[in-house]
Amino acid sequence: MNRKSAIEKNIAEMTPGEFRVLARRNEWSAVTGDACPGYAQANLVIVPKAFAFEFLLFCNRNPGPCPVIEVTNPGEYRSRFTAPEADLRTDLPRYRVFKSGRIIDEPFDIINYWDENLVAFLLGCSWNFDSGLRAANVQYRYIGDHSTNIECVSAGSFHGTMVVTTRAFKSSHDAVRAIQITSRNPAAHGPPVNIGNPEDIGIKDIYHPDMFSSHEHIKSIGPNEIIMSWACGITPQTVALTSKIPFLISHYPGHMFVTDKLSEELTVL
């Protein structure tokens, strides 16, 4: 077995710190979905200090797609609460850089973009409730992430539509359990925003996610499967494009920040 194959086999057994070292060394540049099961992963958004309050207000008004876990001080690239030893400039597998409504780079680290004026936001991720669904033996398939016609509540310069993650549940029982489990986890987007009718929120083709796709490439939905969609942390990326924010950095879709916190630590009773 070569080193790459060995890494792919073992990421599920690594500690978050060990996994972040892989990302820092550019030895892992793929999605993080299978990394460190049970540990919370986070979306990343970084904006200049001049836009930080407006973005915090946007998150406050749109807690579904943007549940705030942590905010750094200007210029601080350490995550004091979720992973104190981590470096937000290097410890994600891949990033996206936006400038005035365009994606200008998708680097493997952002050291060259960093300055003392930047504020980092860590936002909850729907993959954090996936571990809870699996633990409860909820039967479902992840389809992918779709853009919608749901307008976010604007705040200052930030405006745009919501992105959702979509899943197909095997039965009504599985769907009800998923609603119960996710409703107590607002830090991972909370309950679904749509049940059963993706067309109602502007999803025209469920089988071709336009923001991020499942590796399974689902081609059909069973007659008894129930489709549900949750608010998604990719939303700030579409907002960056729509709002033409002068400068914003995010994670590359699916390439999350793996924290030291267990997903269960971020839930509520």
- The CATH number of whichever domain residue 50 belongs to comes to 3.40.1640.10
C-alpha dist (Å) from residue 40 to 85, 259, 263: 16, 6, 4
The CATH number given to whatever domain includes residue 186 is 3.30.2040.10
Express each pLDDT in 116-162 by its tens digit: 999 999 999 998 999 889 989 999 999 999 999 999 999 999 999 99
Q: Which residue has the higher pLDDT, 2 or 186?
A: 186
With CA atoms as reference, report the closest residue to 101 among 234, 241, 248.
241
CA distance 58 to 53: 8
**178 and 90 housed in the same domain:** no
What is the per-residue pLDDT for 213?
72
Instruction: Provide the domain limits for residue 33.
Output: 3-124+236-266
231 and 251 part of one domain? no
pLDDT tens, residue by residue, 3-26: 555 565 589 999 999 999 999 999
Amino acid 266: pLDDT: 84
Domain shared by 61 and 99, yes or no: yes
Least confident range from 163-172, 208-217, 251-260: namely 208-217
**Structure confidence by residue, pLDDT tens digits, 78-111:** 999 999 999 999 999 999 999 999 999 999 999 9
pLDDT for 216 beyond 70: no
Query: Are residues 132 and 69 part of one domain?
Result: no
CB proximity list for 169: less than 8 A, separation 6 or greater = 138, 139, 140, 175, 178, 225, 226, 227, 228
- How far is C-alpha 217 from the chain's CA centre? 19
Same domain, 215 and 254: no
Same domain for 52 and 164?
no
pLDDT on residue 211: 86
Same domain for 115 and 142, yes or no, is no
- Residue 103's pLDDT is what? 98
Q: How confident is the model at residue 220 (pLDDT cuts 50, 70, 90)?
A: confident
Q: What is the per-residue pLDDT for 236?
A: 98
Please answer whether residues 252 and 95 qualify as being in contact, where contact means their C-beta atoms are separated by less than 8 angstroms.
yes
Is 100 in the same domain as 206?
Answer: no
Residues 115 and 132 both lie in one domain: no
Average pLDDT over residues 26-39: 92
pLDDT at 227 over 80: yes
Residue 42's DSSP bridge partners are 124, 257
Of 236, 164, 158, give the one whose Cα is nearest residue 201.
164
Mean pLDDT of the chain: 93
Angstrom CA distances, 115 to 39, 46, 249, stand at: 29, 11, 12
Q: Measuring CA to CA, which residue among 58, 41, 265, 235 is closest to residue 147? A: 235
- Count: domains in the chain: 2
Q: What's the average model confidence in pLDDT over 61-89?
A: 96
Is 239 a residue whose pLDDT tops 90? yes
251 plus 166 within the same structural domain: no
User: In terms of domains, do 104 and 185 share one?
Assistant: no
At 196-206, the pLDDT tens digits run 999 999 999 99
Instruction: Kindly state whether residues 104 and 132 are assigned to the same domain.
Output: no
Q: Is the dihedral of CA 30, 34, 38, 42 positive or negative?
A: positive
